[in-house]
Each structure stands twice: as C-alpha cells, then as structure tokens.
Amino acid sequence: MGKLSWTVGIKPFIGATTYYTDYVLSISYMNGRKSYLDQFTGNSIRIVLNNQTNVAQYFTFGSQVTLNDDLSFIVTGVDFDDYPGNTGLSTCTVTASDYLQASGRTVGNFTVVLPIDFVLGQIDTLYATFGNTNIIRESTGGSYVDSVNYNGSLLQRFQQSMTLEASGAVQLHDTDVYVSGRDVDNGQFFRTTFTRATSTGNNITYSDIRRDRADLKFANQITVNSVSDPAVSASDTASQSLYGPYADSVSIVNTTVSDATGLAQWLANSRSDPAMMSFEIEVVDNAQSNGALARIGNIWAASTAQAKVHDLVYRVPGAGADTTETVFLEGTQINVTPSQTRLIYYFSPYTLYQFFILNSSTQGILDTSRLGWVT
C-alpha cells in the first residue's frame, strides 16, 4: 500500500516558494466544518517543524504557507520549543490561517453598497471589493437579498449568507473559497463509497466509525432572524405532537419574507427527527488502494464545491446486513506524520441538503415531505 504525500512551502512577500517538507514532523488542519450546526469560520493549520537550523526564521508573520501547492495559508504565529543549550531536538510550531478565517479580520475602511442580488452573487461582490480571498460561485444560488450599505467583516456576511442559502457546499482551494448554491447537484464530482471492507478501486476503507444521533440537537421550531426584517418562525407540527416543541434560531442577511419563511419551514422539517444520524469516519492512508488514495486527493484538492455527496456503508450492531446511506461531506480533518496520514471525514445526512432539482436522481426525489421550499 502507498500513502499520501504532502509538501510544505513558504512563499515570502517577494520571491518564489521555498519548500521545507523534509523538516516537517506533523501537520494538523481542519478543512471545512464538523457539523451542519457549525458556522463556516475557517480554520488554522498547525505545522510542527524540526528547528535545529532555525528554519522558523523564514516563516514570518503574514507570509504565505502552501500545502501541496493546493491550499494556502497566512502565517499568524510561531511557537518555539528549544532544547536547552541546543544539544537536542529543537522544534517550532507554525500557525497559519486559511483564507476564509483570515477574512474574519478583513473589515472595510469604507462602506460597500451591495445591490439587490442573489445571496451568493452579493458575497462575491463583497469579497472582490476587499479581499485577497476570492469567492468563486458554482451558481448564483436560490435566495435573493436586499440592498445594504455594509461595513462589517467579510466573514460575518459570508456566514449569514450561507445560512440563508442553506448550503454546506464550501471548498477551500489555494487562496479561493468555492461555494455552491442549493440549486446545484453537489454530488457531481468524485462520488465515492466509504466502506468497512478492504479498499478496492476508488472505494475508501475506514478504520473507525462514530455515529452521532441528533437528540437535543434536533429542532422542530425554527426562528429566522435578520438585522432589519421582522423575525419569522415555522414549526413541524407532527414532530411537536410526538416529542413536544424544541426550538432553535438562525441569523441571516436581509431577504424577502417568502425566502425567510421558506428557510424556517425547511429547517423545521429537515431537522425535526431526533434519530437523525451524523457520522465521523476515520481513514488511514496506508490502508488504501492506489485508486482510493487518488480519490482522497481528488476530494481534498478539488477546485469546486461539488464533491460533497458520497455513499457510506456501515453495519448497525446486531444487524444481519449492511446499511448504505447517502451522506454529505461537511469537512475533513488531517493529522499528518512522516509515517502516515489519518483523516477524519465529517458527514451529515443528505436529507439536510436534499432540495428539489429536476432531472436529478439524488436531489429530485418526490414525496419527501420537504419540497415546500422552492422559491
């Protein structure tokens, strides 16, 4: 079996990238988010390096770290663990922000006039005005937003916009953030089977699976809040009759009453089952076939937000047969050492994103009782 390879480079303010892969002792990074309830805040990468020759001096604040030349980060700090007297192994830990997290500290020094637009089009305009981060849209999305004079952080607007669009399809690539609207088939590329069986072809085998039942994270009464519009609420009456009322709220950018109401209805119905399962799948690279290793790389480095829908095969304890479930990839944690890479994939049930799209075998399924939100 092979294993994944990773390169670490540093690109200074002026000049070409220099690589320090041979000094890397470990890498830890979370790409995306862990749960459908989490906001998209971006993340930091932590790289532990052999610092015997003071390579830390090249990782200056604000310089750009590259991972496999696929993903870029901005250095925000270096911690040193020096061996006394420099007689043993000294190390340093480089911390760097991905470009989505960095946009949380990007606040305009003037007000941007954002016109009425689709929500993804509006954040595209906002990021293009200020940022070294580009928002790349796979579609305009399905939600309209009001015109606004905006002078807050880029990331705050991004979070509230993605909540309105109700799309978890976010992918970081290089310095870009790819987003895909709810009107797009986000399983178009690299759909993969994650299985407990031995890895063959493009099927990825996992070494551990953890299931998380919704329980108190479920909600059957949702209130949607925005800055200037009145709050709107919706309920799943069948769920409330069975379990009682369990409320939650979300914050969005200003939109039409119909879009806000539709979002509340969608969330109240899609989150109304406490038995709904989320999954954490642990994968070790040196247990994979060559085809599976290539597929891991494809999903990780795809310059698109449409590699999110996959199939998960697992067996419930006591069952006599496997269960196959369609799942949605929220994010991937990598923990890298020179000997192996461990990846944790965070999957949500696909019912949270299964909108009505004509001529789609996965997103155009009728009789799901959740097709009311088509605006």
Residue-level pLDDT at 95: 98
- Alpha carbon distances (Å) from 183 to 244, 250, 306, 349, 353: 32, 21, 11, 18, 10
Average pLDDT rounded to a whole number, residues 28-35:
96
Instruction: Report the alpha-carbon angle 325-261-166, nearest 5.
Output: 40
Q: Confidence class of residue 170 from pLDDT cuts 50, 70 and 90? A: very high
Residue found by looking up tokens 């015997």 in the block: 52
Say which residues have a Cβ less than 8 Å from residue 359's Cβ, sequence separation at least 6: none
Which range has the worst mean pLDDT, 3-12, 83-92, 135-144, 365-374?
Answer: 365-374
Length of the chain counted residue by residue: 375
Q: What does the block give as tokens for 224?
A: 């949607």
Average pLDDT rounded to a whole number, residues 41-61:
96
> Is 366's pLDDT higher than 90?
no
Q: Confidence class of residue 357 from pLDDT cuts 50, 70 and 90? A: low
Q: Confidence class of residue 106 from pLDDT cuts 50, 70 and 90? A: confident
Residue 270 CB-half CA count within 13 A: 21
Average pLDDT rounded to a whole number, residues 140-148:
88
Q: Which of 326, 83, 25, 81 is nearest to 186 (CA)?
A: 326
Residue-level pLDDT at 1: 64
Which H or E run includes 125? helix 119-130
Residue-level pLDDT at 71: 96
Residue-level pLDDT at 371: 43
- Alpha carbon distances (Å) from 55 to 64, 67, 80, 82, 93: 15, 17, 11, 13, 11
Residue-level pLDDT at 108: 67
Residues 7 and 358: their CA atoms lie apart, in Å, by: 42
Residue-level pLDDT at 355: 61
Q: What percent of the chain is predicted at pLDDT more than 70?
A: 94
Residues 284 and 206: their CA atoms lie apart, in Å, by: 7
Q: Where are the alpha helices (DSSP H) in 171-256?
A: 237-243
Q: What does the block give as tokens for 311?
A: 């199939």
> Is 54's pLDDT higher than 50?
yes
Q: What does the block give as tokens for 298?
A: 């494809």
> Is 166's pLDDT higher than 60?
yes
Contact 13, 63 (CB under 8 A): yes
Average pLDDT rounded to a whole number, residues 212-233:
93
> Is 2's pLDDT higher than 50?
yes
pLDDT averaged over the chain?
A: 90
Q: Confidence class of residue 228 from pLDDT cuts 50, 70 and 90? A: confident
Residues 203 and 210: their CA atoms lie apart, in Å, by: 19
pLDDT in tens, 284-313: 999 999 999 999 999 999 889 999 999 999
Q: Confidence class of residue 367 from pLDDT cuts 50, 70 and 90? A: very low
Q: Confidence class of residue 374 from pLDDT cuts 50, 70 and 90? A: very low
Residue 253 CB-half CA count within 13 A: 30
Which range has the worst mean pLDDT, 11-20, 242-251, 257-266, 315-324?
Answer: 11-20
pLDDT in tens, 112-138: 899 999 999 999 999 988 877 889 988
Other beta carbons within 10 angstroms of residue 257's beta carbon come to 10
Q: What percent of the chain is predicted at pLDDT more than 90?
A: 75
> Is 242's pLDDT higher than 80?
yes
